């Protein structure tokens, strides 16, 4: 006895087997991890918004009007790839001098923790492509 196509389709969808790609096992995520602390320090920035006053998501009162932004700050983050240690600073911008200064303070902090930085990985942001940045990390290359 055969089941109607609509029933078969409904059952397969309920089992999350309605698409051919779902029949194939998912590829395992292969995350690299450096063996020794300090082998790879990853750096990046995250933009953080500032506000003049608390908005409706906190107060629940939309009658106050929009909460206008008061600019941004940048969180400069340096993470050791082999350990759970991270160094974070919140600074006013991500200009060349600020970014290089943050890196030097992060390296000094890691050194106090007993981690010697040997390599730095960053994205291709403008501050990370600058001459001062390249000069600061030249002795790790």
Q: In the chain, what are the domains?
A: 41-140 (3.30.420.10)
In degrees, rounded to 5, the angle at the alpha carbon of residue 109 between the alpha carbons of residues 72 and 36 is 110
Residue 81's CB is within 10 A of a number of other CB atoms, namely 19
Instruction: Order the strands of the 86-91 sheet from edge to edge.
Output: 86-91, 69-80, 41-51, 120-121
The residues near 42 (Cβ < 8 Å, ≥ 6 apart) are 78, 79, 81, 120, 121, 122
pLDDT digits (tens, 9 = 90+) for 88-116: 999 999 999 999 999 999 999 999 999 99
Average pLDDT over residues 66-91: 88
More confident residue, 48 or 55: 48
CA–CA distance, 34 with 81 (Å, rounded to integer):
6
């Amino acid at each position: 006895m055969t089941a109607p196509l609509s029933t078969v389709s409904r059952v397969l969808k309920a089992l999350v087997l309605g698409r051919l790609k779902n029949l194939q096992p998912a590829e395992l995520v292969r995350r690299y991890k450096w063996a020794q602390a300090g082998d790879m320090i990853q750096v990046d920035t995250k933009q953080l918004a500032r506000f003049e006053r608390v908005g409706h998501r906190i107060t629940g009162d939309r009658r106050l009007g929009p909460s206008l932004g008061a600019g941004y700050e940048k969180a400069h983050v340096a993470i050791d790839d082999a350990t759970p240690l991270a160094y974070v600073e919140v600074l006013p911008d991500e200009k060349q001098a600020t970014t290089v200064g943050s890196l030097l303070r992060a390296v000094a902090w890691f050194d106090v923790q007993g981690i010697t930085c040997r390599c730095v990985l960053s994205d291709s942001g403008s501050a990370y492509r600058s001459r001062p940045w390249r000069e600061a990390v030249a002795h790790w290359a």
